[in-house]
Structure 1
Amino acid sequence: MNVFSCPKILLTNVRSIRNKVDEFEATLSKYKIDLAVVTETWLNAETENLAAIPGYQHFNKIRVGRKGGGVSVYSVDRLIMNHTEHHDQCNFECLWCCITIPNNIRRLKHYYVGAIYYPPAAAGAEQLVSHVIETVDRIRSANHEVPIIILGDFNDLNTNELCDNLGLTQVVNFHTRKDSTLDKIFMNYPELYDDIVQKAPIGCSDHVSVLMKPITCLPKNDHVTVKIRPMKDSSMRQFGQWLVDHEWNNVYDLMDTTDKTAELATTLQNAYHSNFPTELLKMRSTDRPWLTKRVKQLIKQRQKACVKFGKSSKWKKLRNGVHKAIMDAKKSYYQDVISGFHNSDSSKWHKNVGKLCNLNQKQSFSIPGLNEEETAESINQHFADVCCQLPALDQNNLPAYLPSSQPPPEIYPGQVQRLLQSIKPQKAGHPEDLSAKLLRECAFELAPPITNVFNCALKAGTFPDRWKHATVVPVSKIKGANTCNDLRPISLTPLLARTFETFLVNWIIEDISV
């Protein structure tokens, strides 16, 4: 096995290894096997040492109380294999090991292997499946992206739950005994292996052997490069000073609401881009859900400091800062996303805990025959068609008491400031918005020009066109959505539009409550 690769694996049912040790050793040598799992070893406490193979370390799980059964795991000496006994359960012929590949890349340095033999028509099927699911959950809670391989002779055990609940893939696609596939291999990274073939049985066994060959070139992590504008303290001070010094006559002097809104947005965007320069950041599909852009930025700074200054005091300070940021991000992710569901919606709580531990597989939506851009356009058209089915508003058919003879209420800067300060920093907005954090921090300085736009819109009786635009995120209504009718839109409108709507909603509720 080469560095930066994966172990070559052999799965075989030998039906007693004691009289097949020589042939088994020859098979390991012929195919240069790094890791082998053997079922139905038929070993006992007196004979388990007879199955040792030179150049390999091995662990056995023997059947207690009666003959037959048993599993063994063999690992070539250049790998480090540890028997994780705390994961084993004596009631089952199940053996868990951690395989370490020295000097391998970080994400493929450790593997967890579960070797299982389930006798035909045996009792305790549900308990065994539950044991496997709980064990994998415990492993993933410590390292959510570690490769996990579960393999063995499952006979008539219903293994569908291993795929459904754990997101594993069963990769053996041929019969291993007569016309049945009894010997199976479940993995969370099937893309690491490109050749899974059947080999001759060991001795007179009636099970064919299964050989898994790893890929020769390791696939790169999928990643996208995103632009971010870090909210540095120095940038915040510069932007705040600009707000204090800026005269808003370019907004106040305009009479049309649409022009006012556009001028305000353009002015703020130009200042934002000037004071908060962009930086490039890589985000990978395997990143943990709590690994925010800020954490990744701190990690990048720590790495640069290590290269430039070595393990100096500056590097240690950044290292401690990264550790604290990770802990804060984990706590924040749990508090913001998960904890609220614990008492109100247990199913959502479990779903999000599964996401935190990488137990859920992200579902993608696609339309046969269309690429990603065409699929997005089709979804957009589907949502637009819903609005087109409604008749346009005819202003001539409005009630007789509209428009009102009374002037609209007036909004004051203090009211706008309080609403801006109540915006949650993590609130998602329109792509052209200032960040929610910036609106909240600079509420006092931003309140006067925003108030001017609000009052102008009220007097004109119009809602600015700019605020009618929304970024639509399609969300699945059901599990396994495959048509546009299975999707519903989540519209992200501008934050200032939502702030303005808050005043309107409060006035309407106050009026109908009288």
Structure 2
Amino acid sequence: MASDILNVEGYSLFSTCRTDRRGGGVAVYIREDIQAKAIPQVRVPSELECLWVRLRPTRLPRQVSSIVFCATYIPPNSKHQDLLIDHLITTTDLLRELHPDIGLVFAGDYNRLDHKPLLLAHQLQQVVNSPTRGEATLDVVITNLKSHYNAPAVINPIGNSNHKAVWWQPRVRPKTPNKTKDVLVRPMPDSSLRAFGRWITTHNWDEVLEEATVDSKTLAFYRTLHEAMDRFFPEKKAKLHHKDKPWFTAALKSLIHKRQRAHSNGQMTLYRFLRNKIARDILQEKKTYYKDHIEDMKTTHPSEWHKSIRRLANWSAPSATIHVPDIDLSNKAGIADAINKHLSAICQALRPLDWSKLPTYLPCTLPPEVSIWDMYHRLKRIKVSKAPGPDNIPPRVIKEFAFELSTPMTDILNSSLREGKVPAPWKEAIVVPVPKELPADLDKGTLMGPLVFLAMFNDVRPVTENSHWKYVDDFNLGEIRLISTPSSLQRDLNHLDNWATENHMLLNPKKCMAMHFSFVRAPIQPPVLTLAGQTLKTTTQARLLGLHIRSNLKWDDQVDVMVSKGSKRLVVISRLRRSGVPIADLNTIYCGYIRPLLEYAAPCWASALTQRQSAALERVQRRACRLMMGRQFVSYTAALQHIGLERLSTRRQKLCTDFALRVERSPRFSTWLPPTRGQQHGRQLRNSARYQQPTGTNRYLTSAIPAMIKSLNEL
């Protein structure tokens, strides 16, 4: 087709045409005022119809560096569907490695292609929710920019097309300021520490020792120490950005400030010089920071190595939010005050203690005397990584000069014990309310809390012969019955309700659910169960100890969750590789932080995986190998051999076999397995140690226990 027919005035055309037959192909039109270019690093297989274009509009959200648009067409029932998904995922890995903050938009006619692997691999969303042809949504828009755009509108077809068009517009968002904050720091160079040491070793602390009361001693101590701190370690103001990297130095910040000022003043020659210098310096800092500051920690201080790796990869837990009614989320002080009032109200509701009714024991024993050496040993145990408290004394100073500080602090503490009074500065504390990541898990609380709860909770049991399982504060009831047999679960629930009332506990029926497993041809109505006067809702899926269970006993949800979690952490490998971390250390990160997510509770579900589910898990490891090796990656098999990894399917088989052997040797859990042939007939024959292979449906034979029996028989 002639180019003048395809061209549209005011737009740049990017297109790729079919070479094996007439018609078809994909094209992208972009306004001429938007910078756009093809991506030379992307190689599209000849079997696919894909077009990749990188855009750089004049204004973009601060967290988006540029936008990559991928136009795609896949025919219905194409034999290249898996090839297309692999191409989209691996190319996105490449682009995110080159441009970590890139925006992604995949659009085109996907013709009922299962694009879930792409969504899970890169945490993308499909935003078209209306049919585009008949009753089917064939034309999709997949992106990580959903929050920056309005919901797409499906409008009438353009020209003679039999597909409706999709109109997707950006949101008008207010300009948000850069998230920076000013902090006060006390630099402690060695010269200042030596000068401070010369002062404190000659100071006699008479102003503290000669005071009469504990309050006056404490005020004199802090007054002297703060004056010395301000003299030897003066405070300086530093500006921090919430995305500052560990290798980002003050010199780089100064260059960036000069670059921006040159751009504002129109000094373009100086601007380009500084821009190129900053790019070179950043690249050099990235390459040398790991080798100079982190690499040796792997053998000398492994815990610090892992912490440094997480900081280098900008890998931190998402900040949790505490919602308090009628208080704005930005009002941190108001939230803390509300929590404090709520907690103090618990004690205020109790009757005041009547001191006149307390017994008196006289004569009273003298308080213990704290020695200087006891105080010294305590101060030496302070962790220097902790932040200073309200007194603003750095832990490093306290630990390094523990001997000199032990004399005045011992005097203050002994005076406090004699007077029966705690100094006012020692009553202050910086309290930060930290919300729990998960709902009320007792295994993450204090030491005594779970023990006390277990002591109270351990005697709850069903009154029938139904099975029950308990894990900390989780309690599960289960029954196996014939269709003609009435359910006995309600009796156990009534008993549980009565037990809670007798033990002054409250049950939460809103967090209790019932799941019904039945595979009969004619579905039956599950029994209606009630707890504490409320009907329990019936669900088809539940999460038990991190395992996602469905009523059809399929593992789609579990695999999707594992693929999604593993894919999210692959970005860590990409960031660390750009920082010069070698392949061996990247492999350590993968084996320690990513692969366990793909193998969690493998003996429960590994034997029942479908080929597609197994391939989805294997794809995550293949992507990890590609990210670790970069341009050295040739094939998955060669990468596994070079890095020293096994296929996930091979590891799952070994994990399941090891678990079966542990079950067989366990006095407690060996009852899960049936008797061996020798135990059944009492004779020592060739196959006496083998188990009778179960028979039944394929669903049963691929479940955990029959699969373990098969593994043990094959040893």
TM-score, with structure 2 as normaliser: 0.45
1:281 lines up with 2:239 in the alignment: yes
Supply the distance in 2 between the matched residues of 1:322 and 1:449 (Cα, whole angstroms).
50
Supply the distance in 1 between the matched residues of 2:48 and 2:352 (Cα, whole angstroms).
68
The runs of 5 or more residues in structure 1 that have no matched partner are 1-17, 34-54, 492-514
> What one-letter code is carried by the residue in structure 1 that aligns with 2:205?
W
Deviations 1:404-450 (A, max 9, x none): 66844524265255334xx23x3234354323344445445444433
> What one-letter code is carried by the residue in structure 1 that aligns with 2:392?
D
The runs of 5 or more residues in structure 2 that have no matched partner are 263-269, 447-715
> What one-letter code is carried by the residue in structure 1 that aligns with 2:206?
N
Supply the distance in 1 between the matched residues of 2:444 and 2:350 (Cα, whole angstroms).
17
**1:473 is paired with a residue of what secondary structure?**
coil
Distance 1:139 1:320, change over 3 A: closer
Supply the distance in 1 between the matched residues of 2:83 and 2:426 (Cα, whole angstroms).
56
1:251 lines up with 2:251 in the alignment: no
Deviations 1:132-161 (A, max 9, x none): 556545543444323333333445456667
Per-residue deviation, 1:111 = 2.8
Deviations 1:272-307 (A, max 9, x none): 3554233151424xx15x448xx4644334456778
Distance 1:67 1:124, change over 3 A: same
Supply the distance in 2 between the matched residues of 1:151 and 1:487 (Cα, whole angstroms).
46
Supply the distance in 2 between the matched residues of 1:260 and 1:326 (Cα, whole angstroms).
52
Per-residue deviation, 1:63 = 9.8
Supply the distance in 2 between the matched residues of 1:490 and 1:471 (Cα, whole angstroms).
20
1:223 lines up with 2:179 in the alignment: yes
Instruction: Give the number of the structure with larger relative contact order, counting CA–CA contacts within 8 Å between residues 6 or more apart.
Output: 1
What pairs with 1:473-512 in structure 2 (closer than 5 Å)?
473-478=432-437
Say whether the 8 Å CA contact 1:225–1:281 is kept in structure 2: yes
Q: Which of 92, 97, 105 is the equivalent residue of 1:149?
A: 105
Question: 1:415 is matched with which residue?
Answer: 377
Q: Which of 295, 300, 311 is the equivalent residue of 2:253?
A: 300
Distance 1:201 1:263, change over 3 A: farther
1:264 lines up with 2:221 in the alignment: yes
Question: 2:431 is matched with which residue?
Answer: 472
1:206 lines up with 2:206 in the alignment: no
Say whether the 8 Å CA contact 2:294–2:305 is kept in structure 1: no
What pairs with 1:72-83 in structure 2 (closer than 5 Å)?
72-75=27-30, 79-83=35-39
Q: Identify which range, 85-94 or 177-186, moves more after superposition.
A: 85-94
Distance 1:386 1:453, change over 3 A: same
Q: Which of 401, 415, 433 is the equivalent residue of 2:392?
A: 433
Say whether the 8 Å CA contact 1:200–1:208 is kept in structure 2: yes
Per-residue deviation, 1:231 = 0.8
> What one-letter code is carried by the residue in structure 1 that aligns with 2:13?
Y
> What one-letter code is carried by the residue in structure 1 that aligns with 2:236?
T
Q: Which of 95, 98, 112 is the equivalent residue of 2:68?
A: 112
Say whether the 8 Å CA contact 2:13–2:27 is kept in structure 1: no
Percent identity over the alignment is 24
Deviations 1:50-106 (A, max 9, x none): xxxxx423456x698x99986444556663423355575677655544445699999
Say whether the 8 Å CA contact 2:180–2:240 is kept in structure 1: yes
Say whether the 8 Å CA contact 2:68–2:104 is kept in structure 1: yes
Distance 1:462 1:153, change over 3 A: farther
Distance 1:417 1:223, change over 3 A: same
**1:150 is paired with a residue of what secondary structure?**
strand
Supply the distance in 1 between the matched residues of 2:318 and 2:148 (Cα, whole angstroms).
17
1:57 lines up with 2:1 in the alignment: no
Larger Rg: 2
Supply the distance in 2 between the matched residues of 1:165 and 1:362 (Cα, whole angstroms).
23
Say whether the 8 Å CA contact 2:67–2:102 is kept in structure 1: yes
> What one-letter code is carried by the residue in structure 2 that aligns with 1:225?
K
**2:211 is paired with a residue of what secondary structure?**
coil
Of Structure 1 and Structure 2, the greater strand share is in 1
Deviations 1:364-407 (A, max 9, x none): 45456541225454444455556768999999989999976684
Distance 1:181 1:279, change over 3 A: farther
> What one-letter code is carried by the residue in structure 2 that aligns with 1:471?
I
1:450 lines up with 2:409 in the alignment: yes
What pairs with 1:150-165 in structure 2 (closer than 5 Å)?
150-156=106-112
> What one-letter code is carried by the residue in structure 1 that aligns with 2:179?
H
**1:472 is paired with a residue of what secondary structure?**
coil
Question: 2:504 is matched with which residue?
Answer: none
Supply the distance in 2 between the matched residues of 1:240 and 1:227 (Cα, whole angstroms).
26
What pairs with 1:1-150 in structure 2 (closer than 5 Å)?
22=5, 25-26=7-8, 29=9, 55-59=12-16, 71-75=26-30, 79-83=35-39, 85-86=41-42, 95-99=51-55, 110-117=66-73, 132=88, 135-150=91-106
Question: 1:503 is matched with which residue?
Answer: none
Supply the distance in 2 between the matched residues of 1:321 and 1:191 (Cα, whole angstroms).
30
Supply the distance in 1 between the matched residues of 2:444 and 2:212 (Cα, whole angstroms).
35
**2:432 is paired with a residue of what secondary structure?**
strand
Say whether the 8 Å CA contact 2:54–2:66 is kept in structure 1: yes
Q: Identify which range, 203-212 or 455-464, moves more after superposition.
A: 455-464
Say whether the 8 Å CA contact 1:63–1:70 is kept in structure 2: no
The CA RMSD measured in Å over matched residues stands at: 5.8
Supply the distance in 2 between the matched residues of 1:349 and 1:121 (Cα, whole angstroms).
48
Supply the distance in 2 between the matched residues of 1:250 and 1:406 (Cα, whole angstroms).
24
Q: Identify which range, 150-159 or 395-404, moves more after superposition.
A: 395-404
Supply the distance in 2 between the matched residues of 1:162 and 1:368 (Cα, whole angstroms).
39
Say whether the 8 Å CA contact 1:63–1:69 is kept in structure 2: no
> What one-letter code is carried by the residue in structure 2 that aligns with 1:470?
A
Per-residue deviation, 1:120 = 5.4
Deviations 1:221-249 (A, max 9, x none): 54132222251536656655654565523
> What one-letter code is carried by the residue in structure 1 that aligns with 2:393?
L
Distance 1:330 1:217, change over 3 A: farther
**2:412 is paired with a residue of what secondary structure?**
helix
Per-residue deviation, 1:362 = 5.5
> What one-letter code is carried by the residue in structure 2 that aligns with 1:140?
R
What pairs with 1:255-404 in structure 2 (closer than 5 Å)?
255-273=212-230, 275-284=233-242, 287-288=243-244, 290-291=245-246, 295=248, 297-303=250-256, 324=285, 328=289, 340=303, 356=313, 364-367=321-324, 370-372=327-329, 373=331, 374-382=334-342, 384=344
Distance 1:360 1:227, change over 3 A: closer
> What one-letter code is carried by the residue in structure 2 that aligns with 1:229?
V
Supply the distance in 1 between the matched residues of 2:398 and 2:76 (Cα, whole angstroms).
65
Per-residue deviation, 1:358 = 7.1
**2:409 is paired with a residue of what secondary structure?**
helix
Distance 1:246 1:405, change over 3 A: closer
Supply the distance in 2 between the matched residues of 1:321 and 1:155 (Cα, whole angstroms).
44
> What one-letter code is carried by the residue in structure 2 that aligns with 1:150?
F
